Each structure stands twice: as structure tokens, then as C-alpha cells.
Amino acid sequence: MSDRGWKSSYDDDPMGGDRFAKPKAILARIFGDGENPLAWGFTVFTIKGVRVRIHLLFIVYLLGALIFTLPGNQEGFVFVWPRLLAMVVLVLVHEFGHCFVCRRVGGQVDEVMLWPLGGLASCRVPGDWKSELKVALAGPMANLVLVPMFAVPLYVLTGTGASLGFNPMTLGVGSAELTLVSGEATWWLELIGAFYAINLVLLVFNLFVPMFPMDSARAVYALLWKRSTESKAMWQTVNLGLGVATVLGLVGIVFADGKMLLAIAIFGGIVCSMERRRLQFLQYGEMIPGLSGSGESWKRGAVVDEDDTEVVSQDEMDRILAKISESGMGSLSRKDRRTLKRATESSRKSS
């Protein structure tokens, strides 16, 4: 494929007379190159140097939940809005737990993408398994600390332990049954119940479901990395995640109220498949020493063509490969992709 084949329509010069330049720019900010579904979203605000974005899937979920309050046989708005508010706030707290610890161990954080069961923080963690494990567990630990803050007042106000139970398949509590000891139902009790339930769901799913993009998958990866190599640990974690997604999907299909589990399984399966393709790409190109078992396969120094003409400097390749390893192929710019293509073709010709 020529360089022209790598050029996207978003490369058009906005000052070159393209009347669709503004719509294209808006779409580019939302979808990027369109190849990485994990990056589809809107920027909401920036805090402490971290850009907070909300995923399109999250927006669709929120709108869908509100729309389904309209039919008369469904839960009303008064029972749904507390859960939606709790989800947004708690997901944000969860992700900033990752960000805080990442910076504490010497890493960098540029962006947080919010989605219904957590977020997709762009954390560049120092290259060791201990730092990886600490950052992975930071989000669930933030939720763990909050559990008694919601559980204790909920139990005291309702006077029954039944108020602490919920159905994880629907990611919610039986909020219509929450009443004070006096028998009165109030909106603020619904709000406490919603924060309790959503916080617990975030904790359980991210701590006990080892499937990307859940935090437990990253924790498993770190522990496997301790016992073997980084690349083998990632392969094993991805394959485990695909198996978990399959089991979770089957459970979601079997049970009548398992639609949410099925949706999570599908999303997790897609993320794990994308990560598997990234690993296959790196293995195929033999760009990471030791990944294919062939030793130092990516030559040090500049990448050259058959005429010994420098094509890509090693520093540039290191930068691109580090970017792929941290954030996946979808994070590459068009220039990065063209550079990677030239380097790969040159490597194949010289081998």
C-alpha cells in the first residue's frame, strides 16, 4: 500500500476550501481514526492536567436508561436518576484513584475515558510489575474505602440488612423497596442506596472479573509478569480474558435478567480481541525482543533500506513501539502509521 493509502480524509487542509472541514474535525475529535472503539467519546473537562472524556457507550447507556423510564410499566425517573448520578460520580472517583497512584509511582496520566463499569485511564506506568499492580488495584481500593460510608447509613436508616442486597445482573438494587424505619420513602434514601449499589458493583466487577478492560485483568497481568516475561504475561491474560468473556456471555444468555452481563461480556470480548491483535502484530513484525522467541530481532540503530539509505531512526521506532505497547494501535497518528509501514517494509526486504 502506498503512503496515500494511509492518508485519511481527516488529513484534508481545513483552509484548503473543503466545505466539510468543520464536520470532519468534530468527527475526528470524537472518533479519531475510527479504528479504536475505546477512544470514541467527548471531552467533558480537564482537571490537574488530566483530560476527562465520556465514552459514547456511556452516553448511550445513560440516555437509554432515561428513555426507559417513560413506559408506565417501568421504573420511574425518581428511581433511575440516582443510579445514573451515582454511576458518573463513582466512575470518576474510581479512575482518579488510578491516576493518583500512577503519579505517586512516577507514571504519567493524560486522559481518563469514562464508561459504565469504570474507565479507561491512559496511565503510563513505570516498567515494572509492582507499579503495574499498584495502579491496577488503586481504582477498586477507592471503591472499597467507600463501601462502609454508604452501607452503614443505609442500614441504620432502613433498620434492615435486606437494604444492602442487590442484583448484580441488573447492576442495581430493589430501590423501589427502600424505606426509612418509619416506612417513609424519600429521594435522598434512594440516592444513598444507589451510591451503595453502584459502588459495590464497580468493586466486584473490577476486582473479580479478570477480563480487559476490568482492573483485575491488569492485576493478573502484573502478577504473571512477576513470574515470567512481560509479553508472555500479556498473552496469558488476554487469553484468560477471552475465556471469561465467553463464560460471562453464556451466563447472560441463560438468565432472563442477564442482559447487562451479556453486554459486558461482548464489550470485554472486543477489548480482549483488540489487545490480542495488537500482540499478534508486534509478534509478526518481530519488533519486541523476546516476544517471538528469536532474541534481538529488531536491529539496533537506524532502519535502512536495501541501498543503505536511512528510512526511520531507532529513536523514532522506539517512540512508536512504546506508544503501541501503552495505548494500542489506535493511539498512533497518521504520521506514525506511515513511519511504521515504511520501517516494516524495509525490515522485511532486508531480512
pLDDT for position 42: 82
pLDDT for position 241: 96
For residues 310-333, average pLDDT: 66
d(CA 118, CA 106): 23
Nearest alpha carbon to residue 286 among 297, 302, 278: 297
pLDDT for position 36: 63
Whose grid coordinates read 517512540? Answer: 319
pLDDT tops 60 at residue 350:
no
pLDDT tops 70 at residue 17:
no
For residue 327, name the pLDDT band (cuts at 50, 70, 90): low
pLDDT tops 80 at residue 86:
yes
For residues 331-335, average pLDDT: 71
| 3 state DSSP class of 177 | helix
| 3 state DSSP class of 37 | helix
For residues 158-163, average pLDDT: 82
CA count, 13 A, side-chain hemisphere, 5: 4
pLDDT, tens digit (0-9, with 9 covering 90-100), for 24-44:
555 555 555 555 666 778 888
Is the model more confident about 270 or about 1?
270
pLDDT, tens digit (0-9, with 9 covering 90-100), for 240-298:
999 999 999 999 898 877 788 888 899 899 889 988 888 877 765 554 444 344 333 33
Between the ranges 103-107, 116-120, 220-224, 347-351, where is the mean pLDDT highest? 220-224
pLDDT for position 339: 78
For residue 71, name the pLDDT band (cuts at 50, 70, 90): low
Cell of 275: 489487545
| Whole-number percent of the chain with pLDDT over 70 | 66
102: left (phi over 0), alpha (psi -120 to 50) or beta: alpha
pLDDT for position 203: 92
| 3 state DSSP class of 297 | coil
* pTM of the shown model: 0.71
For residues 179-202, average pLDDT: 86
Is the model more confident about 10 or about 87?
87
CB 196 within 8 Å of CB 111: no
Is the model more confident about 199 or about 80?
199
pLDDT for position 224: 96
pLDDT for position 119: 66
pLDDT, tens digit (0-9, with 9 covering 90-100), for 194-252:
899 889 989 989 999 999 989 999 999 999 999 988 889 999 999 999 999 999 999 98
Chain mean pLDDT for the chain: 76
pLDDT for position 330: 60
Helix-strand-coil percent breakdown of the chain, rounded to 5? 60, 10, 30
For residues 62-81, average pLDDT: 71
| Whole-number percent of the chain with pLDDT over 90 | 27
For residues 311-329, average pLDDT: 67
Residues 6+ apart with CB under 8 A from 209: 216, 217, 244, 248, 268
Nearest alpha carbon to residue 222 among 295, 110, 123: 123
For residue 98, name the pLDDT band (cuts at 50, 70, 90): very high
CB 279 within 8 Å of CB 234: yes
